[in-house]
Chain A
Amino acid sequence: DVKVTQSSRYLVKRTGEKVFLECVQDMDHENMFWYRQDPGLGLRLIYFSYDVKMKEKGDIPEGYSVSREKKERFSLILESASTNQTSMYLCASSPGTIYGYTFGSGTRLTVV
């Protein structure tokens, strides 16, 4: 089975800190995605990537950046964490549209 691993299940960070969320997939998928999940809002796309060193903005990219230096790793960066970025962050990968996504277990980030 494809595995998508997010490095942390729970994180607590202070306002203004630079935060790195790491995601690694083990099935050579070209496509990787970062979503945030908030109650009543469902999943909202932050950034995605179709290939190494390639990135595209999703629906809510403000306050975030990403890095994809290797095919298997897609990092989400909060340049200066704020309390409104407290959320569940979900990483996913996919080999193509018709297959859907495989998700990681999520990182619950709290910014205090």
Chain B
Amino acid sequence: AQSVTQLGSHVSVSEGALVLLRCNYSSSVPPYLFWYVQYPNQGLQLLLKYTSAATLVKGINGFEAEFKKSETSFHLTKPSAHMSDAAEYFCAVTLPWGLTGGGNKLTFGTGTQLKVEL
């Protein structure tokens, strides 16, 4: 079955610094990958997704992620952190419809809490 591992349950950066949140996936076939953000006491909001088109994916709020098959990674980056980026971030994986174990279920990582300091 497919899975994702998020390295680092807590990441702290200074405002204006690079944000790098790590996600590695495990899948027997090329997966679809997603990043979601959750602000306090809210549901999850889609940041960006990789669905086998361009490997560099741009999302909302200045975030982007690059799919690297050789490294089985889908790390989330933002060049310059802002205080408003403080939230919890989740990486998720699924398989294209019709493949074994796919359907439409997303499997989520355990999340990374991003703290942005002045």
Q: Which of B37-72 contact A (CB under 8 A)?
A: 41-46, 49, 51
Chain A hits for B46, CB < 8 A: 100-102
Q: Establish whether residues A100 and B42, one from each chain, have CB atoms under 8 Å apart when the complex forms.
A: no
Number of interface residues of A (CB under 8 A): 27
A42-B108 contact given A97-B94, A104-B43, A105-B42, CB 8 Å threshold: yes
Chain A hits for B44, CB < 8 A: 43, 90, 92, 101, 103
Q: Establish whether residues A43 and B108, one from each chain, have CB atoms under 8 Å apart when the complex forms.
A: yes
Q: Establish whether residues A103 and B45, one from each chain, have CB atoms under 8 Å apart when the complex forms.
A: yes
A94-B104 contact given A40-B9, A103-B43, A106-B43, CB 8 Å threshold: yes
Q: Establish whether residues B90 and A42, one from each chain, have CB atoms under 8 Å apart when the complex forms.
A: yes
CA distance A50 to B103 in the complex (A): 9
Q: Using a CB–CB distance below 8 Å, which chain A residues touch chain B?
A: 4, 9, 31, 33, 35, 40-45, 48, 50, 58, 90, 92, 94, 96-98, 100-106
